Amino acid sequence: MSQANPVHVAVGVVINANSEVLVSLRAAGSHQGGLWEFPGGKVEPGESVQNALNREFQEELGITVHGSSPFIRIEHHYSDKSVLLDVWKVSRFSGIPSGREGQTIDWRSVSSLQASEFPLANERIIRALTLPDKIAITPEAADFSELRKIISHLIDLDIDLIYFRQKSRSTQTYLEWFKWANALCQANGIRLMFSQELEGLESGLVQKIDAYHVSSERLLSLKSRPLSKQRLFSASCHDLQQLKLAESLDADFVLLSPVGATGKYSSEQLLGWDGFENLVGQINTPVYALGGVDLADIDICRARRGFGIAGISAFMPSPV
């Protein structure tokens, strides 16, 4: 199978009430046999992904899908074949899953999933499962006292991932504020995204950074992924060229803007949801909508193949 004609596969990520993911063991004699996988199967000609997913789940697991939404698309090239994994998150189903074709199935916590136990194409699914559907961006703080209120507010909102953005501050002040905020966030199980140059930082601080975010300008200067895959790497993007570059650098996700109206951009620069969906459909990296969006837009973002929303005002309903 050539790279130009990959096998289209419908894949379902099923999560139960205990936040565990359903996985099944591939038959020893099959392609990538003996490894765990997220269940699914080949999309037949003329068949929709949703229909293929439901058919495969009924045949393999004995369950019927009643609700699903796009999660991530992954194109991967093995030495002997190429695949396009069309991954959907299954939100509702009926029946009790069982290995109807003799395969072993199991429910696993996301934290227990080891990429080495899955086909290489599944690695990005595992990484994507650690991402939230919303990312809060810190507004510019007038002083440290205001910053403390901002971080405390976001922690109270139970946000999993915060982009620490203080563009008006000197490098020294940014570092001092980040160290304080990062320690507090880590104590509360929250990842804080560092957004200044890594070059020249003390090694002790670099080791404490859970996530690193680059601007679109800094993205253009990168030649390789700046952090290991054990930590998050993301970028701000505004067009297809930047999105493709972020994808080539193996970014875990990108922030795409501007989707809606903001005071920073003219109406001609706005992507709108149609433009957003068009760009998202051309890459395989999770994309968050940014600019003129709020929490109420998560469902429409998902419907447009986005991964979630990011913003400032969406998480700051009142002055802090």
Residue-wise pLDDT for 155-202, tens only, equals 999 899 999 999 999 999 999 999 999 999 999 999 999 999 988 888
Residue % of the chain over a pLDDT of 90: 72
Q: Which percentage of the chain shows pLDDT scores above 70?
A: 97
Domain membership of residue 2 (yes or no) is: no
Asked if pLDDT for residue 1 goes beyond 70, the answer is: no
Inform me whether the pLDDT recorded for 69 exceeds 50.
yes
Query: Look-up: residue for tokens 């203080």?
Result: 166
Q: Considering the chain, what is the average pLDDT of its residues? A: 91
Q: Is the pLDDT of residue 206 over 90?
A: no
60, 79: one domain = yes
38: domain CATH number is 3.90.79.10
Are residue 253 and residue 236 in the same domain, yes or no?
Answer: yes
Q: Domain boundary residue among 128, 160, 186?
A: 128
Domain count, the chain: 2
Does 302 score more than 60 pLDDT?
A: yes
Strand order across the beta sheet in which 105-109 lies: 36-37, 20-25, 105-109
Map tokens 């490098």 to a residue.
171
Please tell me whether residues 150 and 80 are part of one structural domain.
Answer: no
**Which of 128, 145, 174 is where one domain is finished?**
128
Query: In this structure, are 309 and 203 located in the same domain?
Result: yes
Residue 259: closest CA among 273, 279, 238: 273
Whether the predicted pLDDT of 303 surpasses 60:
yes
Q: Cα 20 to chain center, whole Å?
A: 18
* Model confidence at 319: pLDDT above 60: no
Residue whose entry in the numeric block shows the structure tokens 């804080």: 192
pLDDT at 120: 85
Domain that holds residue 269: 134-315
224, part of any domain = yes
Shared domain for 207 and 260, answered yes or no, is yes
CATH number, domain of 290, equals 3.20.20.70
Cβ-based neighbour number of residue 99 at 10 Å: 15
For position 318, what pLDDT does the model report?
55
User: Among the three residues 128, 162, 181, which one is the final residue of a domain in this structure?
Assistant: 128
In a domain, 306, yes or no: yes
Q: What is the mean pLDDT of residues 151-155?
A: 96
Residue 281: is its pLDDT beyond 70?
yes
Q: Of 69 and 30, which is predicted with more confidence?
A: 69
Does a structural domain hold residue 1? no
pLDDT band at 121 (very low <50, low <70, confident <90, very high): confident
Number of helices (H), then strands (E), belonging to the chain: the values are: 9, 15
- Strand, helix or coil for residue 302: helix
The pLDDT, as a whole number, for residue 83 is 84
Q: Kindly report, residue by residue over 219-274, the tens digit of the pLDDT.
A: 999 999 999 888 999 999 999 999 999 999 999 999 999 998 887 777 788 999 99
pLDDT for res 279: 97
3-state secondary structure of 195: coil
The pLDDT of residue 3 is 58
